[in-house]
Amino acid sequence: MLHDPIHHPDLKIKTAAGQGGPVRLSVILPVYNRAHSIAEALQSVLDQTHPADEIIVVDDGSSDDLETALAPYRADIRLIRQPNAGVAAARNTGAAAARGGWLAFQDSDDLWSRDHLATVMRDLTGAPADTVAHLGDVTYTGAGYTEALFAIKNRTFPQDRAARLEDPLPLVISGMTLQGAAIRRDVFARLGGFDTAMRMLSDTAFFCQLALEGPFAVTGRTLAEIRRLPGDDSALTSLHRKNAVYARQMHVRGLAALAARPLSPAHRVLADKRLSGAEFRLAQALHSRDPKAARALLWQAARRHPSPLKGWIKSQMAAIMGPPGYRWALSDSSLDRS
């Protein structure tokens, strides 16, 4: 059961919504050719125990019968249409049109828990003004599997409240998803939104930037189910499988943008380690297609690694042995898997 926040009528609390101001939530739902699943996704937003202040659906140039799928909901949503530009651009379009102080994101094939927004309200009402994001757990479901995000990360957070995470970067740098998140709109705008050149992983790249802006409020409550629907080849997980090189390139792009920021010494070590590992894996993906580019990435990864000796050993073994060398370097824990 959710615990209602305690209100003290004589106490003015500076909250994340502003000095004594209410938390207003705008929901952004991009959609591209998912007329078959958007009704369920949208209904899960409309069925919230705490309603959204507005729901913005961004049609990213769909060519299916989205109009019919959305017809029962037109009184409940703001619909924006644009030529196909990718999910990052669609989310940015929705955020630019939003009126709420906080942005929550849903995808057109996923389901929100009924208390998603009530949990966000519970945790953000009275939260310190420097809070820049709220996170909850999500589950990933598909044929034969169900996994929870925080369990994958081996992290636990309280269910009955949100913990204040002063340094969110170590949590989000290994991957983060938007369906369990709410983001302060002014901070989103200051960062320029999602990188529209990234057709995938723009959410994780953005969270890495956001983590440098201030503390997160994080709860262990499950806020969304991220579904892999049968036969859905447009899912980002399918793109990762079908085009490993592109997926690795986007991973490098996001981490390179983080590494370009002024960072604390601890964050510099973390960012360089992760980027070195991403460059190494991109080199592995390019090995048979473009050996020259793969070698250049190996040396770059070696130079960047916080432990130069480990970086050079990994890269030398991969360059000399080829695929077996890559596999050996990635499997040997003594070489600090990154």
Helix axes 244-259, 265-286, angle to 10 degrees: 160
User: pLDDT tens digits for 233-257?
Assistant: 555 555 556 788 999 999 999 999 9
The pLDDT confidence band at residue 228, using thresholds 50, 70 and 90, is: confident
State the distance between the two ends of the chain, measured CA to CA, in whole angstroms: 39
Per-residue b/e over 25-60, b at no fewer than 16 CB within 10 Å? Answer: bbbbbbbbbbbbbbbebbebbeebebebbbbbbbbb
Strand, coil or helix: 286: helix
Burial of 174 (0-12, 13-18, 19+ CB in 10 A): exposed
- In angstroms, the CA 201 to CA 205 distance is 6
Q: Which residue has the higher pLDDT, 228 or 172?
A: 172
Could you report the per-residue pLDDT of 17-61, keeping only the tens digit for each?
Answer: 543 468 999 999 999 999 999 999 999 999 999 999 999 999 999
> Residue 311's pLDDT is what?
86
- Which domains are delineated in the chain? 20-231 (3.90.550.10), 243-335 (no CATH)
